């Protein structure tokens, strides 16, 4: 597992701070382009707030469409941070080192993006304060805490706060490196952020304990967040195909599947953009590919269980939704075709691509596999939420369909630009690969002679 | 009188201005820095008077540094208790303030309360852990004191507080152990 050479600390600083101390020629044009897409979406949101949700494809039957699908998708992506950082840190997996920061930062930006979706979906964003938070000084009306729509903000805000603090605490030693390498006003800012960090044994001891302790504390939050998101649907008794007990673990594993795939793709992009070949190596992508095979198979198991238990009860309403999902019919949207596409690109195609070692080490193939998973996981959420609502339900007597309109498509597309832009801007001011973690890994690396072979080894403390 | 009392307490809480000199040795490798630390100990300098400064964590004890007790593990428990209490208060008070009787069931619905309380507990624990990390690391520190930027380039610093009459000996120990540079605050 150690294919990289041990690099001097000065070179690690030079390489990993290049994104901050130098501006690549492509940087501002790319950020500007992404910014324009985000601006177009912001204007569209303004139009939507002004004219109402009527300009979207949402209708009386299908009230949760692209926005909520996108909300769940980004919450899912956010799970990569804790998955990689916390679990691998607790498991002391050496190959986590270059991936943790990017994964944690992706968590923060994904959560921020996810939170925008239900807010604009309400149509009256300014009223969120009254619906979700215990804030009322005049009307005597308080939020109903029995609804998952109140549990959701409490879980997401807890996760966002925790993840942000987790990243900030781990950034303090790297702020000190930046403090010592910059001049002028950036030095003043980094000096304040470093809070006087000097790197004495006490500070390092607490930094290491902090990593483990915060990982252990955030893990239960990470599981709770997507469980609670799944209950937005699972607790809705009236909508068939949503009211499923398997939703919580199914959503959590699915989130890890899409999140880790997104991190792998982000790492490949960063390696290419900033020339970090010595840090994000083929061995790391290979290890993540193997992990993804396990996660993908776990997710597939839950998918099959969810479908089997849905059909097994032979309830008429449930069977009608399943028929809509899986069978060809005269319905406007061919959900059955999308279902085949979704399962194919979320499980079978990527797993086949991840099985051979040579393919796991081919960054083009890994990129295709990871993009495929994420397109598939977006489709998965769409195909879980929309057919259930399109079907006739208790006390509703019509079938209706949902055809997303341009505002939804533009806003959803712009969320990808938004997260990419935030990641790029972050990489411009903070290191996306943790410097001290890489240096620690280099200190602990050694070689052992076993018989006639010299093998790499790593010292590890308990 | 009260103001004088507060000022007196503050004066007592602040460390007296140290008459000790500070010496910083910069080393290119851990072995030399550890050797210098051992020599300082042999010269009678207490291990509380010197610190190793590095740009990455070294395995505990590898530099011969002193053990550092801390109380970080207390912080998450305090935070969790406060978070749980806040969660109970928020969920119970909102239900009591706006009672929605559903199907004749009690107004205080425990399963949803448990979810919000759980999140509150975890948030409290994490917030207090972070506060604990900052305080237990003795941060923020507004004056870095004697320092060298090479420390964040892979060099190791050994910063010693020594009596004025010992500072020359400290410099000699550092040089003998292989310091690439020795600085003093004098």
Q: Tell me the per-residue pLDDT of A316-368, one tens digit each, with 9 for 90 and over.
A: 778 888 888 888 876 666 888 889 999 999 999 999 999 999 999 999 999 99
Could you tell me which of A3, A1, A27, A81 has the C-alpha nearest to residue A277? A3
The partner residue sitting opposite B57, judged by closest CB among A157, A162, A440, is A440
| Dihedral sign computed on CA atoms, order A363, A369, A375, A381 | negative
pLDDT of A138 over the 80 cut? no
Does any domain span residue B100? yes
Shortest alpha-carbon distance between residue A365 and chain B (Å): 35
Half-sphere exposure of A425 (CA within 13 A, CB side): 11
Share of chain B above pLDDT 70, in %: 90
Domain holding B104, by residue range, is 74-136
Residue B41 lies in a domain: yes
Residue B100 and residue B121 in one domain: yes
pTM given for the model: 0.89
CA–CA gap between residue A12 and residue A278 (Å, rounded): 9
Share of chain A above pLDDT 90, in %: 52
Q: Are residues B178 and B147 in the same domain?
A: yes
**Does the beta carbon of A13 lie under 8 angstroms from any beta carbon of chain B?**
yes
| B186 lies within 8 A of chain A by CB | no
- The Cα B169–Cα B173 span in angstroms is 6
Residue B56 has pLDDT above 80, yes or no: yes
Under CATH, what is the fold of the domain A9-458?
Formate dehydrogenase/DMSO reductase fold (1.20.1630)
| B109 plus B154 within the same structural domain | no
Interface predicted TM-score (ipTM) of this complex, two decimals: 0.88
B84 lies in the same domain as B117: yes
> Is A217 close to B125, i.e. CB distance below 8 A?
yes
Closest approach of chain A CAs to the CA of B108, in angstroms?
Answer: 10
Residue B126 lies in a domain: yes
pLDDT value for A457? 72
In a domain, residue B3? The reply is: no
| Res A228 pLDDT > 60 | yes
Report A:183-212 residues touching B (Cβ under 8 A): 195-210
Q: Which of A168, A205, A221 sits opposite B68 (nearest CB)?
A: A205
Residue B63 touches partner A, C-beta closer than 8 Å: yes
Q: How far apart are CA A89 and CA A437, in angstroms?
A: 11
* Look-up of token digits 């382009």: A33
3-state helix, strand, coil in chain B (%, to 5): 50, 10, 35
Question: How many domains does chain B contain in total?
Answer: 2
Contact A143 B94 (CB under 8 A): yes
pLDDT, mean of residues A179-185: 92
A58 Cβ neighbours under 8 A, 6+ residues apart: A64, A65, A402
Handedness of CA A422, A277, A273, A172 (dihedral sign): positive
Q: Assign residue B151 the CATH number of its domain.
A: 3.30.70.260
| Beta-carbon separation of B55 and A199 below 8 A | yes
Least confident of A391-400, A413-422, B41-50: A391-400
A162 part of contact set with chain B, CB < 8 Å = yes
Does any CB of chain A come closer than 8 Å to the CB of residue B55? yes
């Amino acid at each position: 597992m150690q294919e990289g050479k041990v690099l001097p600390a000065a070179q690690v600083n030079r390489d990993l701070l290049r994104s901050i101390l130098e501006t690549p020629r492509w940087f501002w044009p790319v950020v500007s382009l992404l910014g324009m897409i985000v601006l177009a979406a912001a204007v569209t949101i303004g139009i939507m707030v002004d004219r109402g949700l009527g300009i979207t494809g949402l209708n009386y039957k299908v009230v949760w469409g692209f926005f909520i699908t996108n909300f769940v998708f980004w919450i899912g992506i956010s799970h990569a941070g804790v998955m990689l950082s916390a679990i691998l840190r607790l498991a002391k997996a050496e190959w986590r080192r270059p991936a943790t920061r990017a994964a944690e930062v992706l968590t923060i930006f994904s959560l921020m993006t996810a939170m925008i979706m239900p807010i604009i979906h309400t149509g009256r964003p300014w009223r969120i304060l009254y619906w979700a938070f215990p804030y009322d000084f005049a009307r005597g009306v308080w939020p109903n805490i029995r609804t998952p729509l109140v549990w959701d903000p409490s879980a997401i805000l807890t996760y966002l706060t925790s993840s942000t603090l987790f990243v900030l605490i781990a950034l303090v030693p790297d702020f000190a490196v930046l403090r010592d390498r910059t001049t002028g006003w950036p030095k003043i800012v980094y000096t304040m952020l470093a809070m006087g960090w000097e790197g004495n044994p006490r500070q390092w001891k607490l930094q290491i304990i902090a990593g483990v302790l915060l990982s252990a504390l955030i893990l239960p939050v990470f599981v709770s967040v997507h469980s609670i998101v799944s209950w937005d649907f699972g607790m809705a008794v009236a909508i068939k195909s949503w009211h499923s007990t398997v939703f919580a673990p199914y959503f959590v594993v699915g989130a890890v599947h899409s999140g880790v795939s997104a991190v792998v793709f982000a790492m490949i992009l960063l390696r290419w953009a900033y020339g970090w070949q010595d840090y994000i190596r083929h061995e790391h992508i290979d290890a993540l590919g193997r992990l993804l095979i396990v996660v993908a198979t776990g997710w597939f198991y839950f998918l099959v269980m969810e479908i089997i238990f849905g059909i097994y009860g032979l309830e008429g309403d449930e069977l009608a939704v399943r028929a809509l999902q899986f069978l060809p019919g005269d319905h406007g949207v061919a959900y059955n075709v999308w279902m085949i596409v979704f399962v194919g690109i979320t499980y079978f195609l990527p797993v086949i691509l991840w099985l051979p070692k040579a393919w796991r080490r081919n960054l083009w193939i890994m990129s295709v596999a990871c993009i495929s998973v994420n397109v598939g996981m977006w489709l998965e959420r769409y195909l879980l939420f929309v057919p259930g609502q399109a079907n006739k339900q208790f006390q509703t007597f019509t079938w209706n369909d949902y055809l997303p309109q341009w505002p939804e498509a533009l806003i959803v597309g712009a969320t990808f630009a938004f997260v990419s832009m935030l990641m790029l801007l972050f990489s411009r001011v903070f290191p996306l690969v943790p410097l001290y973690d890489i240096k620690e890994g280099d200190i602990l690396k050694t070689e052992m002679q076993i018989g006639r072979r010299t093998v790499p080894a790593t010292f590890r403390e308990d | 009188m009260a103001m004088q009392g507060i000022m007196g307490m503050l004066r007592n809480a602040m460390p007296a201005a140290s008459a000790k000199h500070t010496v910083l040795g910069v080393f290119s490798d851990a072995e030399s820095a550890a050797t210098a630390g051992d020599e300082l100990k042999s010269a009678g300098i207490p291990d509380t008077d010197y610190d190793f400064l590095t740009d990455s964590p070294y395995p505990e004890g590898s530099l011969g540094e002193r053990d550092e007790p801390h109380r970080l593990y207390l912080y998450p428990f305090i935070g969790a208790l406060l978070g749980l209490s806040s969660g109970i208060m928020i969920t119970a008070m909102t239900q009591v303030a706006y009672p929605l009787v559903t199907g004749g069931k009690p107004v205080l619905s425990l399963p949803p309360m448990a979810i919000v309380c759980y999140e509150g507990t975890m948030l409290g624990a994490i917030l207090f852990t972070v506060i604990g990390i900052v305080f237990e690391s003795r941060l923020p520190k507004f004056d870095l004191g004697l320092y060298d930027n090479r420390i964040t380039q892979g060099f190791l610093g050994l910063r010693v507080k020594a009596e004025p009459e010992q500072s020359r000996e400290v410099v000699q120990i550092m040089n003998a152990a292989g310091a690439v540079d020795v600085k003093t605050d004098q």
